[in-house]
Amino acid sequence: LSRTHSSGYNNETYIIGTTGTLHTGRFAGYPGPIHVELWQHDGTKHPESKTFEMTYLQGDYPEFLPRFDIAYRQAHQQFRDDIDSGAAFAVTQNEVLDAQVFVEAAHRSAQQNGARYRLQRFDDLPAYKTACIVNGLLND
């Protein structure tokens, strides 16, 4: 994930390996191209490096939205298709619950000067709920 916020905060990602480097996030202005660069061990750019054009939306949107528009639309369409066809989702109910419990623990910790919360995972939902109550992450 790479983006430059309107405040000027720039996120770039480098994945460095023994035979090359993947780099994304060389921000070229908004609106502007999105570069994904593959650098070879000898310092030359790999021919499969690509530049993608940003998606542009009409209207007043948050600065980052056009860059993620296609991904959001595809994810929403896949979700609707899975519901219509009865297909299994890409993540399970418990994986979604795990993520929400983690976010809740981080939120409560931030509100209480870094208080620590014990996180436990259960496949059994009633046991999961009990653990969240006992560990202060869910009000009974």
pLDDT digits (tens, 9 = 90+) for 91-138: 888 898 999 999 899 988 988 988 999 888 888 999 989 999 998 888
- Residue 87 has which token pair? 């297909």
Q: How far apart are CA 54 and CA 67, in angstroms?
A: 6
H-only helix segments in the chain = 65-85, 93-111, 125-134
In this structure, are residues 49 and 22 in contact, taking their beta carbons and an 8 Å threshold? Answer: no
* Banded model confidence at residue 52, pLDDT cuts 50, 70, 90: confident
The 8-class DSSP code of residue 34 comes to: E
* Bridge partners, 117 (sequence order): none
- Judge contact between 20 and 41, C-beta under 8 A: yes
Q: Domain map of the chain by residue range?
A: 13-85, 93-134
- In this model, does residue 61 exceed pLDDT 70? no
Out of 38-52, 62-76, 107-121, 126-140, pick the least confident. 62-76
Residue identified by tokens 């869910």 is 138
Amino acid at 122: F
Q: How far apart are the first and last CA of the chain?
A: 37
8-37 tens-digit pLDDT: 456 678 899 889 999 987 766 666 778 899
